[in-house]
Amino acid sequence: MYWEKEIETMDRSRLEQMQLARLSETLERAKRSVYYRKRFAELGLDPGRIRTLADVANLPLTNKDDLREQWPYGFLTVSRDEIVRMHSSSGTTGRATVIYHTANDLAAWTNLLARCMYMAGMRRSDVFQNMMTYGLFTGGLGFHYGAEKLGALVIPAGSGNSKRQIQLMQDFETTVVHIIPSYALHLSTVFAEIGVDPRRDTKLRIAFLGAEPHSEKMRQKIEELYGFRAFNSYGLSEMNGPGVAFECAEQKGMHIWEDNYIVEIIDPVTLKPVPDGEEGELVMTTLLREGMPILRYRTKDLTRIIPGPCPCGRTHRRIERIKGRTDDMMILKGVNIFPIQIEKKLMEIPGVGTNFVIVLDRAGFNDQMTVKVEVKKDFFGGDLKQLEALRRQIVEELKSDILITPRVDLLEPDSLPKSEGKAQRVIDNRED
Ligand code: ADP
Ligand code: ZN
């Protein structure tokens, strides 16, 4: 049931002692980087004086712009000879950042992924098809090495080429997949198109859904379409990549590995910590990274700590599924809206298909939201009354949640542009 029972179930006081010891080592290492040496000097901070975990709040926050400005080597704490790999973020919100790993860093990260996959129920006997982009993106190689370490048979399928993915699943009797949730929905339409039923004609039993926000409803929809259990997988390249937080068999929140990271939730405006249970921005400090330790990294991801122990026996705290990034928030007529709220409502409505996009326009002083929604194939049969009823239902359901009235356009199945990577959910045509 556990990959590393002692660490996964370690009592909190021992776990915190371990964190403090690792934090001291991390701070010693951080001093060797150009960036933190300068930052500590500016703040008159002597990291040797850190005595308790609460002192973490006195350390400087690090954000994506700091990483960008120090590009390419300002965060390195070892000589380049010791670096064996680099990765880079997807660059969803601007210039990509680069992260460097020593051999030990890779070994620790690989182990975390094996721990995650084992926790969700994957075993040596499984056939694992990794449908993420290989290359600079961490979802490919990260999971790949983790699955090999676990001992499964790994199919490094990479992303895209849907028909071939399905062929691989059938030929090699894939049991576990790693897939982006929006792509999983799209792939289900390809299954239907070629007349293969994923529930009946494959051996799929587990999926890891990662890389983008998705609601509980979306998870359930994907589980129903495929007949497997889907586990939420969270990570970001600055903190290695996947393997940071992952769901256990309970599927109620993601354990965030506190032997590898110090976890804080802060108010993104005041930057002060919020109490357990309250929503805020996730901030993380690496505890084992040698080549490029990062202190108090502002992930921009909004979540909360789920208070209380998990029935699975692991003592590492859990975070709620990510609501979105602070910069995903749309402000319309003074109302704050996250794309995931729209997604959640859409997934509850039976006639809705597998893709949607939100378009924001400005007409005079008025902001207008248009939600373009693909409709299920059997709904698009031609009965206009039925379609109009569906359209009205979507408008009403969305309005009840987001409090403004969106325009809703219904589209044919598969008519929106598809993405093999992270879905782009919002197109903002308003000028600043
Ligand atoms: P980029 O920041 O350029 O997108 P990454 O590939 O490092 O590059 O992406 C990490 C980000 O992806 C996270 O900060 C988060 O916003 C999002 N993300 C990853 N996994 C999940 C998940 N399971 N749920 C919600 N968001 C996720
Ligand atoms: Zn658990």
Res. 208 pLDDT band, cuts 50 70 90: very high
Closest ligand 1 atom to Cα of 241: 7
Q: Indicate if the pLDDT at residue 94 is higher than 90.
A: no
Q: Distance from the CA of 115 to the center of ligand 2, in angstroms?
A: 12
SS (H, E, C) the chain: CCCCHHHHCCCHHHHHHHHHHHHHHHHHHHCCCHHHHHHHHHHCCCHHHCCCHHHHHHCCCECHHHHHHCCCCCCCCCCHHHEEEEEECCCCCCCCCEEEEEHHHHHHHHHHHHHHHHHHCCCCCCEEEECCCCCCCHHHHHHHHHHHHHCCEEECCCCCCHHHHHHHHHHCCCCEEEECHHHHHHHHHHHHHCCCCHHHHCCCCEEEEECCCCCHHHHHHHHHHHCCEEEEEEEEHHHCEEEEEEECCCCCCEEECCCCEEEEEECCCCCCECCCCCCEEEEEEECCCCCCCCCCEEEEEEECEECCCCCCCCCCCEECCCCEEHHHCEEECCEEECHHHHHHHHHHCCCEEEEEEEEEEEECCEEEEEEEEEECHHHHHCCHHHHHHHHHHHHHHHHHHHCCCCEEEEECCCCCCCCCCCCCCEEECCCC
> Which residue in the block uniquely carries the two structure tokens 């721990």?
115
- Give the tens place of pLDDT for each residue, 325-337: 999 999 988 899 9
Domains of the chain from N-terminus onward: 1-325 (3.40.50.12780), 330-428 (3.30.300.30)
The pLDDT confidence band at residue 96, using thresholds 50, 70 and 90, is: confident
pLDDT tens, 149-169? 999 999 999 999 999 999 999
Ligand nearest to the CA of 246: 1
Cα of 113 vs centre of ligand 2, distance in Å, is 16
Indicate which ligand has the atom closest to the C-alpha of 282. Answer: 1
Ligand nearest the Cα of residue 323 is: 1
What residue's CA is closest to ligand 1, atom 14? Answer: 236
Question: Pocket of ligand 1, candidates 322, 326, 341, 343: which has the most ligand atoms within 8 Å of its Cβ, to mutate?
Answer: 322
Q: 394 C-alpha to center of ligand 1: Å?
A: 28
Tens digits of residue pLDDT in 270-322: 999 999 999 999 999 999 999 999 999 999 999 999 999 999 999 999 999 99
Reported as a pLDDT band with limits 50, 70 and 90, residue 421 is confident
Rounded to the nearest 5 degrees, what angle is found at the Cα of 36, between the Cα atoms of 35 and 41?
A: 110
Ligand nearest to the CA of 63: 1
Poorest-confidence range of 156-170, 297-311, 346-360, 412-426? 412-426
366-404 per-residue burial string, b: 16 or more CB within 10 A, e: under 16? ebbbbbbbbbbeebbeeeeeebeebbeebeebbeeebee
> Distance between CA atoms of 268 and 234, rounded to whole angstroms?
20
Atom of ligand 1 nearest to the CA of 301: 16
Q: Which of 236, 246, 281, 323 to mutate to test the pocket of ligand 1 (most atoms within 8 A of CB)?
A: 236
Distances (CA, A) of 75 to 105, 281, 296: 15, 23, 14
What pTM did the predictor assign?
0.96
Pocket test for ligand 1, best of 88, 218, 301 (most atoms within 8 A of CB): 301
Question: What pLDDT score does 168 carry?
Answer: 98
Average pLDDT for the chain? 95
How sure is the predictor about 363, in pLDDT bands with cuts at 50, 70 and 90?
A: confident
* Burial label, 308 (beta-carbon count in 10 A; 0-12, 13-18, 19+): exposed
pLDDT for 90: 67
Distance CA 41, CA 205 (A): 53
Cα–ligand 2 centroid distance for 268 (angstroms): 27
Query: How far does residue 279's CA lie from ligand 1's centre (Å)?
Result: 18
Specify the pLDDT at position 432. Answer: 65
- 211 CA distance to ligand 1 centroid (A)? 5
**CA dist., res. 156 & res. 139, Å (int):** 11
What is the bridge-based pairing of β-strands 229-236 and 206-210?
A: parallel
**Which of 180, 182, 208, 212 is the best mutation target for the ligand 1 pocket, counting ligand atoms within 8 Å of the beta carbon and taking the most?**
212
Q: Minimum mean pLDDT among 53-57, 246-250, 257-261, 313-317: which range?
A: 53-57
Indicate which atom in ligand 1 lies nearest the CA of residue 97. 3
Distance CA 287, CA 201 (A): 44
Mean pLDDT computed over 17-42: 97
Cα(235) to ligand 1 centroid in Å equals 6
In this predicted structure, the answer to whether residue 380 has a pLDDT above a threshold of 80 is no
- C-alpha span between 28 and 216 (Å, rounded): 41
Banded pLDDT at 95 (limits 50, 70, 90): confident
CA of 387 to the centre of ligand 1 (A): 35
pLDDT of 431 > 80? The answer is no
pLDDT band at 379 (very low <50, low <70, confident <90, very high): confident
| Distance of alpha carbon 46 from alpha carbon 416, whole angstroms | 54
Beta bridge partners of 371: 358, 408
- Ligand 1 centroid to 89 CA: how many Å? 9
pLDDT tens, position by position, 37-54: 999 999 999 988 889 999
Quote the ligand 2 centre to 216 CA distance (angstroms): 17
Give the model's confidence band at 365: pLDDT under 50 very low, under 70 low, under 90 confident, else very high. Answer: confident
Which residues have CB atoms below 5 A from the ion given as ligand 2?
Answer: 248, 250, 310, 312, 314
Give, in degrees to the nearest 5, the angle at Cα 338 between 402 and 219: 100
Q: What is the pLDDT of residue 49?
A: 86
Ligand 1 first shell, C-beta below 6 A: 89-92, 210-213, 232-237, 299, 301, 322, 325
Look at residue 396 and tell me whether its pLDDT is greater than 90.
yes
